[in-house]
Amino acid sequence: MPIGITALGTYVPERVLTNHDLEAMFETSDEWIVSRTGIRERHLAQPDEYASDMGVRAVQDLVRRSPDALSGVDMVVCATSSPDAYFPSTAALIAGQVGLAGAGALDLSTACSGFVYALSVAQGLIMGGTARKVLVVGAETLSKLLDWTDRSTCILFGDGGGAAVVESVPDGYGFQSFVLGADSAGGPSLYKFAIADHIPGVPVGSGNPMLGMNGREVFRFAVRVLVDSGQQALDKAGVRGSDVAWMVPHQANIRIIESACERFGIPKERTVVNLERYGNTSTASVPIALREALDDGRIQDGDQLLLVAFGGGLSWAASAMKWYGGAGQVAQQREAQAVTS
């Protein structure tokens, strides 16, 4: 039974913070930020907006595009690094606001690789018979976790959400493979404390109480795992790099993306890049990039895609998939089958 994405929606907050705005906050410049990251602006949540709000708005966009998409959803999986609370889960908060109260709901925490991880979890839940139709959400308000005096991190991140419905799709479409991994030895390179005031490798009292990052180490790690995990995903699917119509990477840094493209042999012209306008939206970055490429017509029905992401953990995730362009038609096909059966 092939499984894939049948509906997709996204949301970013209205408030925009540009590089020129940051120039007034500390010593930096638009040229310095763009040359090192590729980012020109990012969207930030209002003080009373949280990850669940990002997720709800993304689901509302999904429903606007595919009005019957939530019918039959029996599980909600939310990937987030900035949950509203330890509990209830952000997934449950989203479910309750979009008419899915009573569905199973769980949060998943693998930082920026979380959306691809969550797609894999959704596939497993369906294949295992626990769920028939899963709503996957990536939602973040990382702006609330940043030290706004630390220019090495606060220039990078933005807020937003993405939502996808995962269910069975026609033969020849959907997910072909997943590759997931993590190595906690790299944890000190990218972390955010919670209850504990330290993690292994970060001496007590020496870490940033907000979000800590070693950019140089993360860069080396990211380029390596994007290529390695992506190639493994293609090999598992029996797909060649030359067959990939579009690579959709996590939007963290233009230098990381360009280095990965060069090593992978997939030209930048076949890579979806939009971090210039959104920055790093963590678990929301892959669905936002995917939705944008669908809206402007780059991604078409049947296109071979490669999703690749990395994040704190340090974690990584990749998926090869054939895009199903018949989103919104699945319910109609099932109704037709029911009539003839």
Q: Does residue 7 sit in helix, strand or coil?
A: strand
Which positions ≥6 away from 203 have C-beta within 8 Å? none
First CA to last CA across the chain, in angstroms?
19
Q: Token match 């925490």: residue?
A: 109
d(CA 146, CA 169): 40
Q: Is 103 left (phi over 0), alpha (psi -120 to 50) or beta?
A: beta
In 3D space, the residue among 46, 16, 20 whose CA is nearest the CA of residue 31 turns out to be 20
Number of helices (H) and strands (E) in the chain: give both, helices first: 11, 13
CA 262, 264, 267, 269 torsion-angle sign: negative
The Cα angle at residue 229 between residues 223 and 230, in degrees rounded to 5: 85
Residue 45, CB half-sphere, CA atoms under 13 Å: how many? 26
Q: According to DSSP H, which parts of the chain are helical?
A: 19-23, 30-37, 51-65, 90-97, 114-127, 151-154, 215-237, 254-264, 275-278, 285-295, 330-340
d(CA 313, CA 129): 29
Query: What are the φ and ψ backbone dihedral angles of 45, each rounded to 5 degrees?
Result: -70, 155
Please list the active-site residues.
Answer: 112, 250, 280
d(CA 142, CA 158): 7
**The token pair that represents 41 in the structure block:** 């602006």
- DSSP assigned state of 112: G
